[in-house]
Structures are given as structure tokens and as C-alpha cells.
Amino acid sequence: MKKRLIAVMLCVAMMASLLVGCKSGSEGSGDDKDSSGSAGSNTMEVEGDYTELEVWTFIELHQEFYTNMAEKWNEANPDKQVKLTLSNMQYDDMHNKLSLALESGEGAPDVVDIELGKFPAFMVGDVELMDLTESIAPYKDTTVESRLDIYSKDGSRYGLPTHVGATVAFYNTELLEGAGIDYTQIKTWDEFKAAGVKYYEATGKYFACVETFANWMINLMLVQKGGDYLDGDGNLDLTNDTLVEVLQYIKDMQDTGAFATVPGGQPDNEEAYPSYNSGDYAVQIMPFWQTSRFTSYMTDLEGDVAIAPAPVWKDGDVKSIGGGGTGTAVVKTSENADLAAEVFAFIKLSEEANKEVWNVLGFDPVNTAVWEDEELTKNPDNKFVQFFNTYPFDTLNEIKDSIAALDTLSNEKWPSINNELVTTTLNNIYENGMPVKEALEESQQTLENEFN
């Protein structure tokens, strides 16, 4: 009897706490922390007539950005106001749900952020996304074309890019100076490697990581050598000499002891941030958008990090490659597809948007004219300008005309290739010590089986 009483009381207490929770949830505003964008959905306030658009994203930072830009759109277009309902989901879940929704023709949102690595999967068969070529037209001239091309198929464009994602080097100058290394002297991969060895000897700590769960540095090195994962006819070719050379070079770097795998397998991983934050690794070769990870998750490094062009093999090599990205797409079957396309082209590609991409997200905008607007890029109030000890855009402008693209990344085979690389190949080589050639041969075989 007593136990039952306790149970009943507990139920009551639980219900009561639920009510309290709900209440404070709807009021809560006194919180000075930035937790308002936390998981779940977000709806904006709009006065007057509006059209509601459902937006899915897997990057919480995007929510604030989209809402800000939508408000600007509403100000300028009072006759075509929109109200965004943003749902934030986990990366895999969101893409999976999208693919299920498109397949069943039901439950898809109006607008969705699709990650570059997943994009080709939505280009197979009948494309269920809307052709955005027309909506992009007004902004086409000011936008880096290669970033539009990665989200296209047969000449039609299906995704609105967010950034260029130019791959650069992030040097922890405080640590490097302690070891007597001047990062500005590092121009080639050989120098990079030598600096690593010197740093390791001086400090006993790792210089940079060897990627096992991504291929930012690998892709850059590969493109600089003119290599690829596919042969000229678009067939899978993992065992080509260039790829073997690149992976072997990295393997040699690892063998010096100065380079090592990192928890999480790559610098942009929640398990890796703490390793960088505490100074276990000094350097990252990452796309430019890593800036936002520094200000959010590696806050102890404020004032210690310089951005510089990534190393090259030899003079004349391309200096950078666009890495990663999110293409915002409109679902073809959406009732408001036309409006959504127009609004989101504005939200993502207008000059205003490009400025916001830098101000809010800290990314390198796809409108490179904005890169030269020093008022914007050297604004002392900007948190990214404050964080780094070089002006981020100085580096970007330096490499601006030498940013390559790897076409394979928009090939429909890429998601599978990438998956194999990051789960198996790179782990075989850098965690288990399998010879490079052998690991690649094995993966080539696995993938051939899948593609046939």
C-alpha cells in the first residue's frame, strides 16, 4: 500500500515537473546563454499575410541565419512574406528522412539543406528536387561558378551553395613559436613535414593529424597532383599511382611520429575539438568554414591561430580546393516551390546574404566580390576577425584565383566511394598499418562489387 502511494506521488510529481517544464519553456528568455537555437524546431514571428515554408537543416547555426535573412526578405517584399518553420535534425537522420519522404512522395519539407557528400544520392533516377537555374540567374554573375556546378546535373542546378570552403591551413602560432617554427616559411608539403618533425622533437606533441574519417587534406594533395578517384571515363580507379603516392606520402608523415590519427578521425569532429583546444595538435588543414568551429568549440585558442595558404607540392600547383558544403534545395512537389526558390535564392545568394554568411557563420561567401569589402572583412567587431591573429580574408584573397574543384565529388558514385574510404581504406592504412596499395586494391574490389 505504501509503495503504491509512493508510485502515485511520483506520477503526480512527474506530471507537475512536466507542466513546470513546459511553462518555463515558453517563457524562458532571461537566459543569457545562446541556447535558443538548440535542437528542435524554430518558428519565426511574422505580421500580416504570409506563406509558410517548412525548412529542414542539420546545422543548428543555419537556423539563425535563415531567420535573419527571411526577415530581410519580408521587409523588402511585404506582398510575398514568408514564415519559416525550421526543423533541426541529426545529420544522418535528416538525409535519411528526406530520402524516405521523397521516395514515398509524402512528408517532405519545402526547403532542405543537403550536404555535398549526400547530394549525388538525390540526383539518381528522376530528380525530385526543383531545377533552380532560373532563380539563380539574377545572382549567377557574382557567384563562384564551380560552387554552383557541384550541385548540378545535366546543366540544371539543384542546390544553392553556402560557401566556397577553400581549404587553408590553421596554425597554432603560440605553440609553433614555442618550438621555434615560423609558419610563414612553410610553402611546400616537404617543408610542412619537416616542420612537423622539428616541432615533434621540440615538444613531443603532434604537429597535425592524419585523417581517417574525412579527406580534406587528401583531396587537396590529390588535386594538386592532378589526381582523382575515377579514371577519364568515369570508372572507379582507386589504385591509380597518384592516389597511392598521396596516401603513401601521408603514411610517411605518420611514420615520422609527428603526425598521428586524432580521436574522431578528423579535425571537424566533436571528439577532435578538445584535442586541438588543449594543444595536443598544432595545425589543421581544413576548409575555411572551420573558422566557425574554432569560435564555437575551440574557444581556448582565441588569439593563437593564424590562417595561411595550405602547402603545395611545387610552385604552380593549385593552392586550394573547395571542401564540403551544403546545397539548399527546394522540393519539386512542394506547393510553394516557386516562391521558396525565389526566397531562398535571395536568402543564400544576394549580396546581403553573402555578407551575413561571413558575419554570422564565419564562412567564405560564394560572392567573391564581398571578399574585397574591407569594411566587412576587417571589421574589428566581428568575432572571427577577433579570434584569429591574421585577417582571414588576406589569405583567401591570396589564393582566390587558384581554388580548384574535384568533379568526382558531385559524381553519383562519390557517396559510396567516400563511405568506403572513411570507414575502411583510411583506417586500414593509418590505424592498422596495411600497405597503401593493398588497402586500395581491397576497397576497389568492394566498390566494384557494389557498382555492378
Partner 1 sequence: MKKLLYSKKVAPYVFVLPFVITVLLFWIYPIANGVLLSFQDVLKKEWVGFKNYERLMTDKIFLKSVYNSVRYMVGTLVLLIPFPMLFASLLNSKLMKKPGFFKSIYFLPALTSVVVAGTIFRLIFGEMGTSLANQVIGIFGMEPIKWLKNEWTGYFALLCIACWRWTGVNILYFLAGLQSIPGDIYEAASIDGASKWQQFTKISFPLLKPTTVYVLTISIYAGLSMFLESFMLWKGNNSPQNIGLTIVGYLYRQGIEKRALGYACAVGLVLLVVVMVINLIQLKATGTFDKEER
Partner 2 sequence: MSRGKKKDRITSIFLVIMFSILAILIIIPVYTIFIASFKPGGDLLQYGLNLGIDWSRMSLDNYKLLFTGQHDYWQWFFNSIILTVITVVLTLLVSAFVGYGFAAYEFKGRNVLFVIVLIILSVPFEVVMLPLYKQMSSWGLMDSYVAVVLPFLAHASTIFFFRQYLLGIPKSLLEAGRIDGATEYGIFLRLVVPIMKPAFAAMAILNGMNAWNNYLWPLLVVRSSDKYTLTLGLNTLINPYGDNYSLLVVGAFFSIVPIFILFVCFQKYFIEGMTAGAVKE
| Interface residues toward partner 2, by CB under 8 A | 3-4, 6-7, 10-11, 14, 17-18, 20-22, 24-25, 28-29, 31, 33-41, 60-61, 87-91, 93, 97, 100-101, 103-107, 270-271, 273-274, 277-278, 296-297
* Binding-site member from 26, 29, 35, 449 for partner 1 (CB under 8 A): 449
For residues 215 and 421, is the Cβ–Cβ distance under 8 A?
yes
Specify the residue, 103 or 191, whose C-beta has the smaller distance to partner 2: 103
Min separation Cβ 111 and partner 1, Å: 20
Q: Assess 423 for contact with partner 1 (CB under 8 A).
A: yes
Binding partner selected for residue 188 from partner 2, partner 1, none, CB under the kind-specific 5 to 8 Å limit: none
Binding partner selected for residue 125 from partner 1, partner 2, none, CB under the kind-specific 5 to 8 Å limit: partner 1
CA–CA separation, 414 and 6 (whole Å): 58
Min separation Cβ 418 and partner 2, Å: 20
Q: Assess 415 for contact with partner 1 (CB under 8 A).
A: yes
> By CB under 8 A, which span of 26-34, 151-159, 322-330, 411-419 interacts with partner 1?
411-419
Q: For residue 179, what are the CA distances in angstroms to 137, 204, 260, 301?
A: 51, 10, 18, 17
For residues 259 and 430, is the Cβ–Cβ distance under 8 A?
no
Binding partner selected for residue 235 from partner 2, partner 1, none, CB under the kind-specific 5 to 8 Å limit: none
Min separation Cβ 175 and partner 1, Å: 19
Which cell numbers hold the place of 302? 582565441
Secondary structure of residue 287 in the 3-state scheme = strand
Q: How many CB atoms lie within 10 A of CB 361?
A: 20
Specify the residue, 99 or 379, whose C-beta has the smaller distance to partner 1: 99
Specify the residue, 295 or 423, whose C-beta has the smaller distance to partner 1: 423
Specify the residue, 293 or 348, whose C-beta has the smaller distance to partner 1: 293
Binding partner selected for residue 406 from partner 2, partner 1, none, CB under the kind-specific 5 to 8 Å limit: none
Q: Assess 277 for contact with partner 1 (CB under 8 A).
A: no
| First and final C-alpha spacing in the chain | 67
Closest CA to 325 of 179, 26, 119, 30: 119
CA–CA separation, 429 and 441 (whole Å): 12
Q: Assess 121 for contact with partner 1 (CB under 8 A).
A: yes
Q: How many CB atoms lie within 10 A of CB 327?
A: 27
Secondary structure of residue 361 in the 3-state scheme = helix
Phi, then psi, of 432 in degrees rounded to 5:
-110, 0
Specify the residue, 28 or 226, whose C-beta has the smaller distance to partner 2: 28
Using CB atoms within 10 A of its CB, is residue 1 exposed (0-12), middle (13-18) or buried (19+)?
exposed
CA–CA separation, 46 and 51 (whole Å): 10
Question: Cα 77 to chain center, whole Å?
Answer: 31
CA–CA separation, 132 and 329 (whole Å): 8
Min separation Cβ 264 and partner 1, Å: 9
Binding partner selected for residue 279 from partner 2, partner 1, none, CB under the kind-specific 5 to 8 Å limit: none
For residues 353 and 69, is the Cβ–Cβ distance under 8 A?
yes
Task: Write the binding mask 124 to 143 for partner 1: x where contact by CB under 8 A, - elsewhere.
Answer: xx------------------
Which cell numbers hold the place of 171? 596554425
Residues 207-246 that bind partner 1 (CB under 8 A): 212
Min separation Cβ 423 and partner 1, Å: 5
**Where along the sequence are the contacts to partner 1 (CB under 8 A)?**
92, 95-96, 99-100, 103, 121, 124-125, 212, 263, 265, 271, 415-416, 419, 422-424, 427-428, 431-432, 445-446, 449-450, 452
